[in-house]
A and B are shown apart, each in its own frame.
Chain A
Amino acid sequence: GAGVSQSPSNKVTEKGKDVELRCDPISGHTALYWYRQRLGQGLEFLIYFQGNSAPDKSGLPSDRFSAERTGESVSTLTIQRTQQEDSAVYLCASSRGRWGASYGYTFGSGTRLTVV
């Protein structure tokens, strides 16, 4: 597609429920990144996929968080047993090339998650 697409755009869930967030990167972009942004703050790295290499999961805050990516396409971020502190905007970005970060990211509009 022309841009990075994320769904849903907004999600309200009850504490303890599982949620799944989806990201469709730009076609041909081999690198895909998930970040979390708390209200009014900067971006916190969560996980990075590059082609068929093992993902860099070093930013996942707990074992309740996991992500998958099918080849070089769609990615899903799953949060199990959601807590109120998980409330944030979850941003997905994609980038081209082996060293995608050097070229800059193209971000989606994010999924705003609210845990009540």
Chain B
Amino acid sequence: TQLLEQSPQFLSIQEGENLTVYCNSSSVFSSLQWYRQEPGEGPVLLVTVVTGGEVKKLKRLTFQFGDARKDSSLHITAAQPGDTGLYLCAGKDNTDKLIFGTGTRLQVFP
């Protein structure tokens, strides 16, 4: 069974701080996606990374796919209260479905 472990599980920070969330697996994925989920809603896709070593930026968010395509990281610069939510990584396995990570719950205080 493929597992995606995220760390930290919980993160509580002040507005303006930087943070990094990690997503790790022993399995290789053909692509990896990051989602953000707010209470009462379904997850919303933030980014897809495909190539080992790939880095993508989305405003203050930077996503990196590991060289071996087994891990990924999400870095947020100058966090804002609007960044609060549950961050989920998801890897595409050799069938056409996503395996989701354990999730990182981020709380940003004003």
Contact = CB atoms under 8 A, between A and B. Distances in A.
A91 interface: yes
Contacts of B97: 33, 45, 48, 56, 101
For B30, B45, B48, the residue with the greatest tally of chain A CB atoms inside 10 Å of its CB is: B45
Interface string A43-67: 1110010100000100000000000
Contacts of B90: 43
A70 interface: no
B100 A35 contact: yes
B11 to A, nearest CB: 14
B42 A108 contact: yes
A29 B105 CA distance: 30
Contacts of A93: 42
Interface string A26-46: 000001010100001111110
Nearest to B10: A40
Given A41-B103, A42-B101, A42-B102, A105 B45 contact: yes
Interface of A: 4, 31, 33, 35, 40-45, 48, 50, 56, 91, 93, 98-110
In order of increasing CB-CB distance, the 3 nearest A-B pairs are A107-B42, A43-B100, A104-B45
7 contacts: A4-B42, A35-B100, A41-B102, A42-B4, A45-B98, A56-B95, A107-B44
Given A42-B4, A42-B100, 17 more contacts: A40-B86, A42-B103, A43-B43, A43-B90, A56-B95, A91-B42, A101-B92, A101-B97, A101-B98, A102-B92, A104-B33, A106-B45, A107-B42, A107-B43, A107-B44, A109-B40, A110-B40
